[in-house]
């Protein structure tokens, strides 16, 4: 029996996002599926309604991916695909399997010989990099930095030194309610010539993307980042 296909379905980055962030082909593919593995069922249902899925949500097979799935969890989720059924993988926001636990399901799918098809959609990391003016030839995403203030400053200095040595753009994020503290740590820790980009609320009406040297950030008012999705990027040297 031929296995089904695992389609990686991007999700809009915010409630005010327009259809322009998701190609029509993505919506068409989502409407053709009735089995979905998702990070958050509520968010997935809202996105499927935005895609105008023709079937009632209660008739769709929507299963949440555990936060830390084990091999047995992944195999259970992939069992319908091995039986020939196609499926869609959806993150809570943006592209699935990028800075997202869905990567584990994709890895397991490859191990099982299941075809994986990525689809085009909004990625906050790539959108931020595109708009930053920083080095797009060499870059790295580091996820979350330490919460402890001293450990965070130490990590920032390490990333800045690596950026200067390799001419590498460093990307990272923070839990939205701690964004302000992250900004202040960057402004007080990095050297004056290091460039820092703040990319907030990507693809929505309140989108705000600014790149400045730290010396310039110190003269400017702190941006409003509290409880708002933000990507931080720095480039030293």
Which two three-digit tokens encode residue 54?
Answer: 């023709």
Q: What is the pLDDT of residue 67?
A: 87
Q: Are residues 138 and 213 in the same domain?
A: yes
Q: Are residues 190 and 161 in the same domain?
A: yes
Region of 31 please: left (phi>0), alpha (psi -120 to 50) or beta. Answer: alpha
Q: Are residues 111 and 133 in the same domain?
A: no
Enclosing domain of residue 229:
124-235
Rounded-to-integer distance, Cα 197 and Cα 209, Å: 7
Which two three-digit tokens encode residue 202?
Answer: 């990507």
Domain count, the chain: 2
Average pLDDT, the chain: 94
Q: Are residues 88 and 163 in the same domain?
A: no
Whether residue 223 contacts residue 208, with contact meaning beta carbons closer than 8 Å, is answered with yes
Q: Are residues 106 and 169 in the same domain?
A: no
pTM of the model as a whole = 0.90
pLDDT tens-digit readout, 171-201: 999 999 999 999 999 999 999 999 999 999 9
CATH number at residue 204: 3.30.950.10
Rounded-to-integer distance, Cα 174 and Cα 231, Å: 8
From residue 63, alpha-carbon distances to 44, 66, 165 in Å are 10, 9, 45
User: Buried b vs exposed e over 186-207: b needs ≥16 C-beta within 10 Å?
Assistant: beebbeeebbbbbbbbbbbeee
pLDDT tens-digit readout, 15-65: 655 555 678 899 999 999 999 999 999 999 999 999 999 999 999 999 999
Q: Are residues 90 and 108 in the same domain?
A: yes
Q: Are residues 109 and 130 in the same domain?
A: no
Of 71, 89, 118, at which residue does a domain stop? 118
Q: Are residues 15 and 83 in the same domain?
A: yes
């Amino acid at each position: 029996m031929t296995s089904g296909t695992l389609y990686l379905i991007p999700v809009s980055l915010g409630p005010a996002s327009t259809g322009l962030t998701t190609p029509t082909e993505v919506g068409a593919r989502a409407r053709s599926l009735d089995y979905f593995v998702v990070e958050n069922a509520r968010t997935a249902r809202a996105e499927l309604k935005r895609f105008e899925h023709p079937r009632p949500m209660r008739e769709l097979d929507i299963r949440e991916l555990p936060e830390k799935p084990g091999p047995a969890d992944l195999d259970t989720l992939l069992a319908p695909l091995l039986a020939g059924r196609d499926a869609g993988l959806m993150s809570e926001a943006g592209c699935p399997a990028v800075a997202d636990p869905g990567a584990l399901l994709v890895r397991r799918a490859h191990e099982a010989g299941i075809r994986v098809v990525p689809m085009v959609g909004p990625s906050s990391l790539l959108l931020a990099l595109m708009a930053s003016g920083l080095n797009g030839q060499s870059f790295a995403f580091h996820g979350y930095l330490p919460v402890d203030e001293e450990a965070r400053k130490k990590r920032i200095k390490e990333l800045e030194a690596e950026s200067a040595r390799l001419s590498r753009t460093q990307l990272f994020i923070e839990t939205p309610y701690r964004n302000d503290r992250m900004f202040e740590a960057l402004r007080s820790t990095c050297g004056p010539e290091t460039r820092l980009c703040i990319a907030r609320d990507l693809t929505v009406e309140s989108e705000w993307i600014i790149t400045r040297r730290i010396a310039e950030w110190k003269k400017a008012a702190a941006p409003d980042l509290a409880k708002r999705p933000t990507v931080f990027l720095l480039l030293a040297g």
